[in-house]
Structure 1
């Protein structure tokens, strides 16, 4: 648990980057301004969700590239990139390019498996190869090899005036150590640990045992990850819960926040669907109240990094208030110090 002796070490935030279909530029600009604000407030990292065929950021790599030119310190991540939408070699090129542009600040998160709504999107994504695409962990292993700088072709050659490398270019040597796996099951937690990755655990997990307590299930996955990781207890884990402090919020904002959380609360009471998906309740209250909720959370007590998720559908000014309260009140209450 973060305490005065063991404070919260890393504080980040996660945004979906919503936009209006008729004016997408304004929403993307809002996201960039939020990232700039996060840097000014001293956040350690800003993370972007992926949304495909929706009105949220579909190309985080492009938005991160833009953010590298408007920030100097804050780390930039994805939580997470679903690899079923990506060619691993091309994605490795994109990530390495943005990492070079950022000066080594990229923290890409990824996940394997079929994309969401696979039956709907498969023919648009892979009209000729959907039945043969490898959507397993093997796809992630291809990405790791490409980012790591493994040789992917027969050799480096020169043909006429053209020089060719046998590995992805540009190569960013430190990027492999900043890859995160976003997992919600014991299998994915163990796989990420065995492959030496960092681990993102969010507000969604799968109940695979007898327990239906969200925090207990999440804690089991954190421990499984570290048990499989070469670094053991020192392996990096970041937790992403929806956190909404109300310290400086107006009465109207507080009413909006509480209505949002109440609407989403029923899904948290029991596992959902055949895979027994579990959702964490949104944490709404003053920073002191949220601090106490987190200190009572079994999984939070074993981590020292967080990327608190911003709610999906609020206004820009709401996000400014929430981020400001997190950075100036909740973070310090958890022992965190803003980056200079």
Structure 2
């Protein structure tokens, strides 16, 4: 409902949920134009169509296919397994081919005893994704994340350096038959427009996570320093040596830290309430379970912004002391 979506204000998942709902409603409208009599005869209203989509999304798994296509699978008994954050990776659930037949294969990622509940990993997904796709959240989810998206102007001299920095970005490439999560590719750089045209803009996407937060922030700082050099030097004199030197330049590092801090504060400012307010409501026992799950999503994201800003302050203090 709109009221439930309003709880997610400030999170990207509010926008994602709205877009998903609009797409499903539009799909139902298209079907009505083609098979309206069939839908009416069987009582398939817009509300029931939305419900059916929720069931499918919360139960089925999507698999990557060679060439980039995807296949949605709902296997008998597969939806009885609950999600575990412990099974990190993509080997416990795969789509495999044997004797010309495709099979959904679920493997135990560790020994399970008799009577013990067996789990598998739905993917290294944040609580936002788990909420939208499965209707549940995991307290203290280690895969909670917030996204940074930055764009930088590119010239012929800076484009190779942007590509060079992009080689250090974390990503988890998928093999044929691996389960797909929207958050699988953690970080990437996209040069626009794509080849063979000469790029004029670089779009950086980073999914910040607690376990790798410091290293990720350092990579973003490198992009910010390159952007500053590119703007000041233009196409003349910009090279990898100048970029490396900027890392040793205390003033350049401080300016990059200041920019990144301002960006993180701006993103955190989109939330209507503080982390402490959300935590207090959950601790008091939220009466509405749907609201409680949405608050867990917000709490995880606000926690990450707080940790990121603390790290930025620590890095700034180190520069000042030096």
Shorter chain as denominator, the TM-score bin is under 0.3
- TM-score when normalising by structure 2: 0.25
Comparing both chains, which one has the higher relative contact order based on Cα–Cα distances under 8 Å and sequence gaps of 6 or more?
1
**Counting helix residues as a fraction of each chain, which structure ranks higher?**
2
TM-score, normalising length: structure 1: 0.24
